[in-house]
Amino acid sequence: MANIVAIVGRPNVGKSTFFNRLVEKRTAIMDNESGVTRDRQYGYAEWTGKHFTTIDTGGYVSGSDDIFEGAIREQVKLALGEASCIIFMVDAKDGLTGLDEDFAKVVRQVGKPVFIAVNKSDTTEMSFMAGEFYGLGFDDVFPISSSNGSGTGELLDAVVNTFESEDKGNPDEGIPRLAILGRPNAGKSSFINALVGTDRNIVTDQAGTTRDSINTRYNLFGKDFILTDTAGIRKKSKVTEDIEFYSVLRALQSLQDSDVCIILIDAERGLEAQDVNIIALADKYGKGVLIMINKWDLVEKETNTAIRIREEMKQKLGPLGYAPIIFTSVINKQRIFKAIGLAVEIYESRAQKIPTSKLNDAMLPEIERYPPPALKGKHIKIKYITQLPTQATSFAFFCNLPQYIKAPYQRFLENKLRSHFNLEGVPIRVYFRKK
């Protein structure tokens, strides 16, 4: 059994701060506002040579004004069910509250090892206050400070002693990552829920429901990969709240960490400037790109509607038009698995290393049929092509006058590379070097 540690408690006790300390990254968004965390957030941690999965959860509460309250409670219960041991976090400054006592009854029913982490015990005086939390009925109480790390060592020593098996490293290392990106309310969380067959992420009609970037391990076609649900990305001028600002930062970081970006577009709204900006960012960082038109079931269709929309989009995208476009309906599960299959194909195309002999056999005849236009009476001769050992798919063309090759001919070479070596959806970098 995997070693999984769930961090639970009422809102605003410092769970996300402690989670970030364990995973040694600023993964979860932290804010003084209650209810910032909503979905389950997974990360990997190590203590004294022992590796484990840790889960950050939203604050468990009932009877509040938060419209996400019920969905958050369900996410917490799922985390409790998955965990092999539980860190129940409370607040030393607030003392023992009725919410803590109510939630303790929920935790007690799970029947797993529970450690009370009395957070915000930043001073000796606060540490002495931790004694009152024995009133919750659990044996192990640890005064800690998530912000400065005080007391966390003793807590983690006790936690890892409960592990029956030994996990070795991060099991997600080296697995393809597919980031689901787009504007708010395009259907990103619904897409992941439809794929995995459970309510992995909270879904509502309200824009901005997803805040953190949430990773989900997924297996399809006999292959493992990680799906990352991200917050909707709006124009910078429209982002006014701090939490949304950090949500967008997490989404952009997920884009940079991914191998392939699936850009979800609302079929009713069509391709908008912000969608083009997101696609351009994926291209800039050399990520594979798939454009997924969601809510296709809501569009009134005529003969060749999909063909017409695809051509219009490719014209709008210009040089970014190399990305394949697929029309889906997440609600009806229409072509969603085909979309994942396409994304996996893009990943494999992006990862391929093309032998130099194959490159030259395919490309030199194309260049001979359509050579670079002469400039200032000088003829350009391309003699040799090779793939460069870079993360982005890059090729070097060696020629006598590299400075005279213009952008249109560069695009011609990119298109020929795509057609010969199945590089659809893969951004290509072409460099011209002096032979």
pTM above 0.75, yes or no: no
Q: For residue 395, give both structure tokens.
A: 């090729």
Determine the Cα–Cα distance for residues 89 and 46; give it in Å rounded to an integer.
20
Geometric angle at alpha carbon 82, from 36 and 153, rounded to 5°: 70
- At 177 the three-state DSSP class reads strand
Q: What is the pLDDT of residue 169?
A: 61
Q: For residue 361, give both structure tokens.
A: 């056999």
Number of CB atoms found within 10 A of residue 52's CB: 22
The sheet carrying 393-399 orders its strands as 382-387, 393-399, 428-434
Determine the Cα–Cα distance for residues 272 and 293; give it in Å rounded to an integer.
12
Which has the closest alpha carbon to 199: 16, 365, 74, 83? 74
Task: Check residue 367 and report its DSSP letter.
Answer: H
Secondary element (H or E) of residue 103: helix 98-110
3-state helix, strand, coil in the chain (%, to 5): 40, 25, 40
Q: For residue 333, give both structure tokens.
A: 């599960």
Determine the Cα–Cα distance for residues 217 and 228; give it in Å rounded to an integer.
9
The sheet carrying 41-47 orders its strands as 41-47, 50-56, 4-9, 85-91, 114-119, 140-143
Q: For residue 370, give both structure tokens.
A: 């359509």
Q: Is the dihedral of CA 243, 248, 249, 254 positive or negative?
A: positive
Secondary element (H or E) of residue 386: strand 382-387
Determine the Cα–Cα distance for residues 375 and 378; give it in Å rounded to an integer.
5
Determine the Cα–Cα distance for residues 197 and 219; give it in Å rounded to an integer.
12
Contacts for 240 with CB less than 8 Å, ≥ 6 apart: none
Residue ranges of the alpha helices (H) in 173-290? 188-196, 242-257, 273-284
Rg of the chain (C-alpha set): 26
Q: Residue 140, exposed/middle/buried by CB under 10 A (0-12, 13-18, 19+)?
A: middle
- At 220 the three-state DSSP class reads strand
**Residue 229 to residues 145, 169, 193, 359, Cα–Cα distance (Å):** 30, 23, 10, 37
Which has the closest alpha carbon to 39: 224, 204, 242? 204
Say which amino acid occupies 366: E
Determine the Cα–Cα distance for residues 292 and 329; give it in Å rounded to an integer.
10
Q: Residue 357, exposed/middle/buried by CB under 10 A (0-12, 13-18, 19+)?
A: exposed
Q: What is the pLDDT of residue 289?
A: 93
Which has the closest alpha carbon to 19: 49, 69, 73, 57? 57
Q: What is the pLDDT of residue 154?
A: 92
Number of CB atoms found within 10 A of residue 361's CB: 12
Q: For residue 77, give both structure tokens.
A: 């219960």
Determine the Cα–Cα distance for residues 255 and 281; give it in Å rounded to an integer.
8
Q: For residue 396, give both structure tokens.
A: 């070097």
DSSP string, 245-256: HHHHHHHHHHHH
User: One digit per residue, pLDDT tens: the chain, 435 residues?
Assistant: 478 898 988 888 888 888 888 888 765 444 444 445 556 777 788 888 888 888 888 777 765 555 556 777 787 888 888 888 999 999 988 888 888 888 889 889 888 899 999 998 887 777 788 888 888 888 899 999 888 888 899 999 999 998 877 766 666 666 888 888 888 777 888 888 888 776 654 444 444 445 455 677 777 777 788 888 777 675 555 545 554 555 666 677 778 888 999 999 988 888 888 888 888 988 988 999 999 999 998 888 787 888 999 999 999 998 899 999 999 998 888 888 999 989 999 999 999 999 999 999 999 999 999 988 888 788 889 899 999 998 889 999 998 888 888 889 999 999 999 989 989 999 999 999 987
Which has the closest alpha carbon to 133: 96, 178, 159? 96
